Structure 1
Amino acid sequence: MKYSALFFAFLLSACDAFTISTAGRAGVARFARMDEPQQPQPPPAPAPKTPPPRAPIALPTVGGKDGQLDVVSRLLKDRILMLGTDVNDEVANVLVAQLLYLAQDDPEKDITLYINSPGGSVSAGMAIYDTMQFVPCDVKTVCFGMAASMGAFLLGAGAKGKRSSLPNARIMIHQPLGGAQGQASDIEIQAKEILYVKELLSTYIADYTDQPLEKIKEDTDRDFFMTPTEALEYGIIDEVIKTKTSHIEMPGMPSLY
């Protein structure tokens, strides 16, 4: 027991010495690192600037006997409608409701539809087209900016003799776009549907432009851009509206070859 106690005491003293020695070396190491020259730290990156919040675009209001009205509502009272966005279900629902309301209000007075649209949904566009053909009053169409794809289709769908365009607008027709994924049978169904829609739109365009159906199919195989003058010759519109700059001769389309 005496030797065991002495051996245990020896182990304790050895462990204490090892701990002190290790701590001393660590302290030297720590001080050595602190004595080394400090590397210059790069300045902190500036915080990203958040843009100031934009004020919402408010429609101007105009006064009248019915009080203050926003400009769209005021134009509606004059039987003027605006299609100034993509053609989608929400826009179609609003335009269809406006067409039906104005047709009920006066079934013999013309409605004017201003179009500046890159196109959009075929089903939404056909809802507008069918309503234009359904209401008893004529729907005049006016292009400003651009009428492309379904926008051009609706431009030409106005009452014949009452379709017009401002001189610097662009008009473009093409075949419908689409895609499908899934099983082969599902892709086949979608392919048949888009081919049917292509045939349907081409038939309507051929009808109101008095162009041969085969020419419409050939021209719409790719994007087919037209100036208002070319659209007039093609049969999509009936008039190019004269403005203060109508005396300026428009440049021709440059050749890439």
Structure 2
Amino acid sequence: MRRTRRALLRGGGATVAAAAVLGLVVAAAAAVPVLWPHDAMTTTFGSILEAPSLAHPMGTDGVGRDVLARFGEGARISLLIGLVAVVTGALAGLLIGLTSGLAGGAVDEVLMRVMDALMAFPTLMLTMAVTISLGSGLPSATAGVTIGTIPWFARVARSETLRITALPMVEAAVALGMGRARLIRAHVLPHMVSVLVVQATATYGSVILSVAALGFLGLGARVPTPEWGAMITEGMEPALTGAWWVAFFPGLGMLIVVTCTSVLSDRIRDVLDPRGSFSGVKGVT
């Protein structure tokens, strides 16, 4: 762990800066809804579309709600949905990939053809289709983006399972009579953790964008829930009258999170995979 931390720090100022900025966004998501005196849902019709000031550092929206309060609450929603989707998608994809790689034959063929069918659709289109079928709202959006991540994790898990089980040490363990369950615990999963971590960090930023896109299209968070994509939609009309701040700050938040996770993902991959063997890892687009 200490060696990995030192390796990350040796990656240069960009990695440290990305981690620090992302930490600030996470801190804002945790602290603003609790410590900031303004509520994200409270309307003040005497303070409609006020420009950024000391009282309202990010201004107010079209019904007088504090944008900073809504930004912090939106960060909490977006980051949490991203975490739930990535963790759930990784676990489901790991189970499918392990089953496919270890079983082989018809089971492998059927599971991978299903994954290929899902991956044939652009991820956002697949996410939208799932969300629409379940009904708009944050739970449906979460389910949609989660399903969109599963094929990527499943493909990576299967390829790693095939690679690991072909290693001489694993073949020797099987020859000595090691059972399948113990083989998975002792050899397959420990050697697969690093590639799954890289895939998860590469996927996280894309999930944040997908959630925001669903909110922007009205398929995700419902008004007045302060989710970043929905906030951008609400800020489009005020922006035409010069109130740029309503849509600008949630858009800036998404840009920061996606950029920082992309930088960290590249650096984590360099640290965990210096030889470039994680050829199957990629972001969800």
TM-score interval for Structure 1 and Structure 2 normalised by the shorter chain: under 0.3
Q: Which has the higher strand share?
A: 1
More helix by share: 2
Which structure carries more relative contact order (alpha carbon 8 Å, separation 6+)? 2
What's the TM-score once normalised by structure 2's chain length? 0.20
With the length of structure 1 as denominator, give the TM-score of the two structures: 0.21
